[in-house]
Structures are given as C-alpha cells and as structure tokens.
Structure 1
Amino acid sequence: MLKVLIITYYWPPAGGPGVQRWLKFVKYFRDFDIEPIVYVPENPTYAIEDKSLHSEIPEGLTVLKKPIFEPYKFAQFFSKKDTKTISKGIITNTGKQSFIQKLLLYVRGNFFIPDARKYWVNPSVKYLKKYLSENKIDTIITTGPPHSIHLIGKELKNRLNVNWIADFRDPWTTIGYHDKLKLTKRSSSRHKTLEKEVLTNADHITVTSFTTKKEFEQITHQPISVITNGYDFEKIEKTKVDEQFTVSHIGSLLSGRNPINLWKALYELTKERSDFAAMFQLQLVGAVSEDVLASIKEAGLSNFLKLQGYVSHKEAIKIQRSSQVLLLIEIDSEETKCIIPGKLFEYIVSKRPVLAIGPKDADISKLIAETNSGHFFEYHEGRDIKSQILQYFKFFEEGKLVSNVSNIEKYSRRELTKSMSEVIKKVND
C-alpha cells in the first residue's frame, strides 16, 4: 500500500469549499491501496467553520499538526469586520473600498507573497524533512490555495527529491481576486516567478478545470491532469421540495458575482405576474457582499429575499434538494472561465434545475450541457434568463419541475479518488 502525505491548510473544523476536495479524497483512498497521512496547521484561523465535517474523517487516520503564525489575527486590531470579509474572499468594488480595506489589500498583496500563510512554510519544511527521513512516504501532495502550501512541497522536493504532486483547486496569478490586491510590478513579478517554480518542479500537477490546464501548459512541460471536484452520496433524511418557488444560491456571493439582469428579470416577473409574485422567494445561503445586497434592494426584490447566512454542509445539501431552482453565479471575466465550483456537482446530483450565469465559454457551461442539469447564460442575456425562469415557473405550477440529469457517475467523489490514485501510482512508477 502506497503512503501519501497530504499537506493542506483547510481541514475540519474548516467549513466552505476549500476543505471538501481533500477530505473526500482521504475518505476513499484506502479503497485504492493508498494510505493517506495529513499535515495541517495546529491553530489555524478559519473564516468559517463546520464541526460536522469531523465525522467524515476516516477512522485511524494519522493527522500531523504544526503551529502556524496568522497575520490576520493582528489585522483584526484595525478592523475585525474588514479582515474577516477579505479572508472570506469578499472584496468590495474598488470605488466603495474604505481606507482600511485598501490598506489591508495592499499589505496582503505586497508583504505576504504568495499569501498570509507564508510563515508556515519554513517551520513546516523543517518538521516534515525530519518526519520524511524517519518514515517511509512514497509521495507528497500539496494543495492550494493558499498557494504558500506549494512552497513547502517545492522545498521538500529540492532537499529530499521526494515525489511531489501539486494540486491547484484554483489558479494562482489569474484567480479572480488577484488583480484586486494592489500589487506593485515587483510583487506581481514575484508571484509569477514562484508560480513557475512550483509548476516546473512538481512531478505532476492536478487542476480542477480544463481552462486552468491550458493556462498551465503555457508555463510548464510537466504532466497535468484535470480532476474536477465532485459529489458524494450524503446520508441525510429525505427532503421535501419547497411549496414556494424558491430560487436559491448556496455559497459566497462576491461583489463581482452580481448579475444585475437576473435581479431585473425577477423583479419584472413579480410585476407582470401576480401568481409569480405570490410564490417566488429568492434565497441566499452563505456570505453575501454589501454590493450584491444593494443591487437586489435597488432592483425592488427586498420583500422576496431570504438571507440564511452560513450553514453546515449537511444543511446546505438539504436546502439544495428542497429548492425549486438553484443559482450558480460566476464573475463575468476572462479569468473566471476556469472556475468549476464543487457545489455545481452537488447541485447536479440534487436533481433540481440549475440556472447558471457566467462569462462566455465558461467551463461550467460545458458541464451543465454534458449532464443535462440546467441552463447557462452570459450576463447580458437578460431576456433569455427571464424566459427560462418563466419556463421553470410554468413547470413548477404544473408539478413537473425536475432535472433529468445524465452522465454524472464519473463525477462521484469515489470515482474521482480513483483517478487521483492513478496519478499517484503513475508518479511512483
């Protein structure tokens, strides 16, 4: 049985999407003759927590821990609210940023390269170098963001020549918020240098989207595999679908995820159709930026809005299965074409129709079409979005609103773990 050391920042009790990918891989690795060992921070600062995820950790798993120094703790002295908001990835539009927000972003981008967890790199390298010399480990895997985790892998590779897989849940220098960090030319160059060093030194690179693979192929000749996020078979009680026409978004809504034409279409339907107004509810579950809330209010949808805040992963699954329509909104930019959020797969397996809005040629549009799970629109397609919502509503009134999904089996977490196991075994050949 191969032994694999997984180096990650996010681990239970961390909540949100960052923890799901490797928690699920670890859950199924033993089915494919791989024994995982996980290395995580001892005292991390997680923006959101979900203690229910502890139950997903396999019995007898070895989890190594080392303390981490978190600068975010000190930044809270300036503004606890702004620090927590930025750590969640919610960055206010440039024109509305306070002085504190601008300062925090400038410091984050230029003093903490590649990110604020950089101070965990050296102590981790020292600790893991000793651990690896005393224990037989076949491969190490680093997963980012935070991309400073990859620097641990790079140093261990340089010093011990271990097999190393670098897993990118998101891209590095082309991630949506990167250009908002107020980087100097020197800092921007430093990010790109580190990115290239990681991509050219790792033995194998795994990414979650087809666009990211194409992007990285311009930087490195090392092998790259696309292993998307996916869905698991969650053991929760059977959920009844809402009697109201609930249109739900689960997860963070950043300032850039603000589809004005969607809000406008929904408002027009409430004015044009009294039956729609009587049954419609817009449900947002998770952190929502002030910019998005202001746009919804300005569109006249305040009376139809239900804000849930952050909920546990199991509760999120229940909401997905009970909603009539599920919203997937991605930032309208070239950089976000590659984003395939893990919740898309959970949306798909919930068998509720997905209404997705994002940039032209987004990878999510291909997946939605492949799985017959809903409809994708670009931001400017207001009339088409309105027509589709009205079509969904008519099916809802007739009791026929369902999603006849197909071709989803390969996106189960177990099948994806099989794919990751094959990469690991290839690296060890």
Structure 2
Amino acid sequence: MTKRVLLISPYFPPHNTIGTKRAINFVQGIHGMDNWEVIVLASKPFNDKNDFRLTEQIPSDVAVNYGFVGIFRPIIQFLAKGLKKSKSKPVITKVAGPKKKKSKSKPSKSLTPFDQYLWDTGSAVRNGKKLIKKFKPDVIWVNADPWSGFLVADKLSRKFGIPWVADLRDPWTIFEKKMELRPKLTANAIRRYERKFFESASKVVLNTETSCLAYKEVYSGSLNKKFTFIRNAFNEKLLKEGLVTSPNEVFTFGYYGGFRKFVPSNYLLKGFAAFVENIKLDPTQVKLEVKGNVYSDFWNQVKEFELEDYVSVEKEINLDDTIALLRSWDVLLLSAVYDFRWMISAKFYDYLFARKPILAVSDNDELNELISITQSGSWAKTDQSEEIEQLFATYYKAGKTGLVDNEALIEPYGLNSQAKQFLQVLNDVIS
C-alpha cells in the first residue's frame, strides 16, 4: 500500500541555501522507498540565491507546490531590502595605534517569535489544504527553520487529523545566546509556541544528540519520549566527484561557509598567524581561503594579525560545486565555539565526503568525537592556542596529500544511513 508524506519546506530547490540540503536528502532518501511517496509544499524563489540545477536533484514524479509564499511576498521583500539598505553602515577596518576601550553596543533585538515567512502562512495553509485533499498524505513533515512551517503544520494537522513531525535543523529555545537577542516578551512567546508545537507533533527530530538530550531535560513526562535525533548527512548524489589533489602550488587551508557572531574567526586566524610567524612563511608558501560571507570583525582580525597578504575571501558557490572546491584545498577548517555546541554544521558532513584532512577549533564535544571516530582529522579547543598553532604546523609540514583513507568509517554519515532513520520515524508515526 502506498504511503504519502507532505514535506513542508520553504527552503527547496532552486533555493541555493544550506537549509535546502536536508529537504533534498529527505526527498531523495524517502520517495520510492518502502512504498513512501513525497509531496512538497515549498516557497517560490524570491531572492537571487538560486541554483536551478538543484531542481534536477528532485525526482520528476514528486509533486511540488510552490505556494508557501503569498502574493504579497514581492512587496515584503522589496520593503525589507530598502530597510536593510538604510541601516547598512560602512565597515571600519582600522586597527592602528593604541586600543581604546569602547562601550559595548547592544545587539539588535529580533522582535518576531518566528521569521520572515510568518506573513505567508495564510497562503501556505490554503495550498496545504489543496495538497491534502488531492493526495491524502499519512504524515506531515516540517523542515525547520523557518519556524513558520510549524504554524502551518499545526493548523493542517488539527483540521485533517494527520500526525506531523517537527524536524529542527537548529534547536530553538535551548540556543541560549540566540534567545538573549529576543526581547523578554518575544522570548516568552517563543517558549509558549515551542511547547504548543511539541505537544501537537507526534515526533520531534533534532540533528545532534547533544540538542536532543538538552531538550529531553527541558521537557519531561510524555513529551520526553517524542524526541529523537537524525544527524545531517553528506549526499553522494548531490556532491559530484571532484579533484583528488590540490591544483594549487601554494599549500592552502580552506574554510567553506561564513564567519559570524556564533561562528567566530578569531581562534583560527590567531592560530594561523602564529604558525606563519614561527615558521617564517611568506604568501607564496601558504594561504588561507574562505568561500562565504564574513562579518566585519573578520577583516579587523586579518589586519590585527597582519595576514592581509595570506587571506582571501570569495562569495559562496553553488551546492553541487562543493566537492571540487573542498578537494582543491589541502586542509579543511572548522570553527565551533561553546555557544554553538548544540549544532554541527552541515558542511562537516560534506567535509567527510571530501576526505581531505580536517582541522577544527572546536568546543563541541559531539563534533570532536565524530572527527575522532571517522579518523578524518584533528581538533583543539578554543583555549588551547598552542595546540591550534601546532595543528597548522603539523599539516603544513606533512605536505600535500591525497584523500584520507577512511571511506568505510564515514559511510554511516551518508544519505543512505540518514534515509533509514527518516523512514524509521515515519513508520513509527503511522504504526
């Protein structure tokens, strides 16, 4: 007998965002397996972060409705761009002379309990109803964030009596540093909504064991049994085979993704600078490349550590070009501070598939354990500055190498294993 699941995921091809990857994995891993069919409610593209090649990753017989966003979305997007432009300020990178104490600027507060898709939930519910009446799904599965998908699933579940699964790519209320950015009233509203959604959902899926255990401590009783975790995974179908060795003559440390408030660059840059200084290397011998967006502090740190000639930054690439980029680098860099301990970046699993050595500056015990289990590289904690410097030196002195010989060890962290876990949750929900 055919079983159907309605996937609600605003991020979906051709959206070229990291949130799209889990949705692609879900569709590829579930559709056609164990008699399951996937129907999708997604957001039509409304920004320039699109890669239309990603649509080729979706089986042709998967029904996709792009009606999550409403007719007012273009207007909302236009107004949002105008507001953002008016608030933008020039980046100051001057770090000369004695440092003066500066009063700490207050972080900007996020006022809404949800996200920009909140204004589209009416359209999402209407189109969700159409899909349910046409396909009669057995389960609703939400890829979040955006958290507004939970509002839609909760309403559809209550109206049609269909069980739903909350799949959190990132934790919500237990991420204390992000919650601090919310005004008190907004934070309280988020906690109420989170509890409401978790009570309504049949299963709550996290993507790390750490966040799963943390939520189990917060929610006791019957809710406690709803929590499980399914880690992110590399997708062999999405990640095309790339170069095996670096085409660069210069030894290159590479960082894929952005640096921002909760993913800081200072520990990596400080360690790299000390390594360059101690071995007396010039920019023709070693460099550090970043593919992604960086915050203004990054350039201040580059100047402070006198790395202007060693560091380069370029914009992000399309998802299916990832593996060629990663294999063009000699060592892959990761940054994971204590405040980010609830999550493991999705790029880590792409790093595994690339099978180039990983150098992680990480206070995330679960991430460090996975690096050790897969024998994919080395890690040091943020307060171990000498160890960080030594890791840079060790990899450089080892010279350019081929792929890490750990193919069997990384197999459990690929799409096939992830799909089995998705299927297990779906079958448990309808059993």
TM bin, normalised by shorter chain, reads: 0.7 to 0.9
SS of residue in 2 equivalent to 1:14:
coil
Report if aligned partners of 1:202, 1:222 keep a CA contact under 8 Å in 2. no
| 1:212 matched residue in structure 2 | 211
Secondary structure (helix, strand or coil) at the match of 1:117 reads helix
Gaps of 5+ in 1: 84-92
What is the distance in 1 between the residues matched to 2:344 and 2:185? 30
Aligned-partner Cα distance in 2 for 1:221–1:402: 42
- List aligned pairs for 1:21-170, cutoff 5 A: 21-29=22-30, 30-42=32-44, 44-46=45-47, 48-66=49-67, 67-68=69-70, 69-70=72-73, 71-80=76-85, 95=104, 105-106=108-109, 109-110=110-111, 112-170=112-170
Query: Does the aligned pair in 1 maintain the 2:242–2:323 contact within 8 Å?
Result: no
Aligned twin of 1:387: 390
| Deviations, residues 304-351 of structure 1 (Å, cap 9, x unaligned) | 112121111132221111211101112442xx2121111101101211
Give the Cα–Cα distance (whole angstroms) in 2 for the partners of residues 61 and 173 of structure 1: 33
1:33-91 Cα offsets, whole Å, 9 max, x none, are: 2111110123x4347333331221112210012133444431222233868xxxxxxxx
Q: 2:344 aligns with which of 320, 340, 343?
A: 340
Structure 1 distance, partners of 2:65, 2:175, is 29
User: Where do residues 242-281 of structure 1 align in structure 2 (5 Å cutoff)?
Assistant: 242-275=248-281, 277-281=283-287
What residue identity is the alignment partner of 2:203?
Answer: H
Aligned to 2:353: 349
Instruction: Work out whether residues 129 and 156 of structure 1, in 8 Å CA contact, stay in contact via their aligned partners in 2.
Output: yes
TM-score (norm 2): 0.87
CA apart distance, 1:393 = 0.9
- Say which SS state the counterpart of residue 37 (structure 1) adopts: strand
Instruction: Name 1:188's counterpart in structure 2.
Output: 187
For residues 94 and 216 of structure 1, do their structure 2 counterparts lie closer, same or farther at Cα, with a shift above 3 Å needed?
A: farther
Equivalent residue for 2:321, pick from 315, 319, 335: 315
1:151-191 deviation line (CA, Å, top 9, x unaligned) = 1111112222202111000011233762353x222111000
Shift of 1:301: 0.8
Structure 2: gaps spanning 5 or more residues = 89-101
Question: For the residues of structure 2 that align with 1:272 and 1:262, how far apart are their CA atoms?
Answer: 16
* Structure-1 separation of matches of 2:345 and 2:140: 25
- Aligned residue number for residue 175 of structure 1: 175
CA distance in 1, matches of 2:103, 2:228: 36
CA distance in 1, matches of 2:103, 2:146: 23
Name 1:371's counterpart in structure 2.
374
Q: Which residue of 1 aligns with 2:423?
A: 421
RMSD: 2.4
CA distance in 2, matches of 1:413, 1:72: 34
Confirm or deny: 8 A CA contact 2:253 2:288 kept in the other structure: yes
What letter corresponds to residue 387 of structure 1 in structure 2? Answer: Q
3-state SS of 1:376 partner:
strand
Aligned match of 1:89 = none
Cα displacement string for residues 253-272 of structure 1 (whole angstroms, at most 9, x for unaligned residues): 11332243432222222223
Matches of 1:420 and 1:81 in 2, distance apart?
44
User: What residue number does 1:88 align with?
Assistant: none
Q: 1:382 to 1:342 in 2, by over 3 A?
A: same
* 1:338 aligned partner, one-letter code: W
Bigger shift: 265-274 or 1-10? Answer: 265-274
| Structure 1 residues 358 and 56: alpha-carbon distance in aligned structure 2, compared to 1, 3 A threshold | same
Q: In 1, Cα distance between the equivalents of 2:329 and 2:87?
A: 32
SS in 1 for 2:137: coil
| Alignment check: 8 A CA contact 2:166 2:203 kept | yes
2:6–2:39: 8 Å Cα contact kept in structure 1?
yes
Q: 1:10 to 1:302 in 2, by over 3 A?
A: same
Relative distance call for 1:329 and 1:160 in structure 2 (3 A) is same
Check whether the contact 2:3–2:36 (CA below 8 A) recurs between aligned residues: yes
Deviation of the 1:231 alpha carbon: 0.9
Identity over aligned residues, as a percent? 22
With over 3 angstroms needed to count, the CA separation of the structure-2 counterparts of 1:401 and 1:56, relative to structure 1, is: closer
Structure 1 residue 222, shift from structure 2 partner: 4.1
The aligned amino acid for 1:227 is I
> Helix, strand or coil: the match of 1:26?
helix
Cα distance change on mapping 1:416 and 1:256 into 2, 3 Å: closer
> Normalization by structure 1: what TM-score?
0.87
Call closer, same or farther: CA 1:425–1:308 in 2, change over 3 Å: same
SS state at 1:113 partner: coil
> Which one-letter code corresponds to 2:308 in the other structure?
S
Contact 2:138 2:162 in 1 (8 A): yes
- Counterpart Cα distance in 2 of 1:371 and 1:236: 20
SS at match of 1:221: helix
C-alpha spacing 1:261/1:310, structure 2 compared with 1 (3 Å): closer
| Deviation readout 1:128-149 (Å, 9 max, x if unpaired) | 2343234321111111111111
- SS for the counterpart of 2:5 is strand
Q: 2:240 aligns with which of 235, 239, 245?
A: 235
Moved more, 69-78 or 136-145: 69-78
Q: Distance in 1 between matches of 2:326 and 2:119?
A: 38
299 and 321 in structure 1: CA distance in 2 versus 1, 3 angstrom threshold: same
Distance 1:2 1:301, change over 3 A: same
Q: SS in structure 2 opposite 1:232? A: coil
Count how many residue pairs are aligned between Structure 1 and Structure 2.
405
Deviates more, 1:131-140 or 1:386-395: 131-140
- 1:300 paired residue among 275, 297, 306: 306
